[in-house]
Amino acid sequence: MSGVTPGLVHIQEVDQVPLGVYLAQLRQFQQLPDYVDPTAPSEPVEVDPTGTLSSPLHPEVFATLAPLPESMTVEPLINVHKQRLIASVVRDVVSGQHMARKYNYTLDRQLQRECLRLRALDNVSSFLSEGCSISHLYS
């Protein structure tokens, strides 16, 4: 996929992908800046506690252009690339959920009993004893 940040894996058309892979990608994308300075795209835009964005670092970049009306100012831009990357991960998760619905999982009572006997699964035992199966995790 063109425009994807190098080193990131774009997951597409995979039958089963652990949710942690998606969460790792979302965490990595969260590190990207929310705003981009139009005069210095590689510099971070600071947001103060009141929510005010910092002024452009190099307003002289636009000196050769026609001036803006007095009611407008040069402000940081929303980082659309970050939002598209996040949307791509969400789209992949939803696609995986739709694919998981195609499978009919049946509950193996013997396996359920064995799992309920495991001490390490105390938190899961109530989930399993309520008659829930793994397919409910994907709906």
Full residue range of the structural domain in which residue 114 is found: 104-139
The answer to whether residue 112 is domain-embedded is: yes
Q: Report the relative pairing of strands 77-78 and 35-36 from DSSP bridges.
A: antiparallel
Per-residue confidence (pLDDT) for residue 89, from 0 to 100: 92
pTM over 0.85: no
pLDDT tens for the chain, 139 residues: list them.
445 555 555 554 445 567 788 889 999 999 999 999 999 988 889 888 898 888 888 988 888 988 889 898 888 899 999 999 999 999 988 888 888 788 777 888 898 888 887 765 455 555 555 555 444 444 4
Evaluate whether residue 123 is within a structural domain.
yes
User: Would 126 be classed as within a structural domain?
Assistant: yes
Q: Is residue 20 part of a domain?
A: no
Asked whether residue 121 is assigned to any structural domain, the reply reads yes
In this structure, the number of other CB atoms found within 10 A of the CB of residue 89 comes to 20
What is the tally of structural domains in the chain? 1
Domain membership of residue 15 (yes or no) is no
pLDDT at 139: 43
